[in-house]
Amino acid sequence: MVRLRRRVALACALSLSAPALVACPSGETRHDVYMKGLQIEGEAERGPCKLTFDGGMRAQVLSSAQINECLRMQEAAIAEYERAAEMGMKGDPAFERTYARALERKKRLESMRSNVARMEREQVEAKAAEPAPLAR
């Protein structure tokens, strides 16, 4: 009876430690890479992608430089998602939704960048065309 208990205890100890060794390889897992992409997107949302309200203008303020930084971070997140897909993350429904959403966001940011840059150019040109105030 004592031998049987020792064997069961040894088998349990081996079964508990073996999966830990197998499940914890050195390096990043596909899930780690996916989470890194999500983290980059979150930092972008809290940082350069966050709109700020200008009380004087009574509007949300957005510059092309801000959009460029947001787009750069979005592309970094997409690169991490593509790494995760190469590591076997494809087929996971949550991953597929996140990746598709990131690609769509990138497309919208590229469109916004061109529109905001055009509006900024028009604003600079309008200021340059204004007549100088008369000196008294």
Q: What does the alpha-carbon distance between residue 60 and residue 32 come to, in Å, rounded to a whole number?
A: 35
Domain total in the chain: 1
The range of the structural domain enclosing residue 94 comes to 27-126
Asked, for residue 15, whether it belongs to a domain, the answer is no
User: Residue 35 falls within a domain, yes or no?
Assistant: yes
- Looking at the domain assignment, is residue 19 inside a domain? no
Query: Which range is most confident: 28-37, 50-59, 124-133?
Result: 28-37
Quick check: is 9 in a domain?
no
The residue assigned the tokens 């971070």 is 73
Query: Average pLDDT of the chain?
Result: 81
Q: Is the pLDDT of residue 108 over 70?
A: yes
Judge whether 1 lies within some domain. no
- Reference 34, options 82, 75, 70; nearest CA is 82
At residue 22 the predicted structure's pLDDT band, cuts being 50, 70 and 90, is very low
Q: Does 18 score more than 50 pLDDT? A: no
Q: Is the pTM of this model over 0.95?
A: no
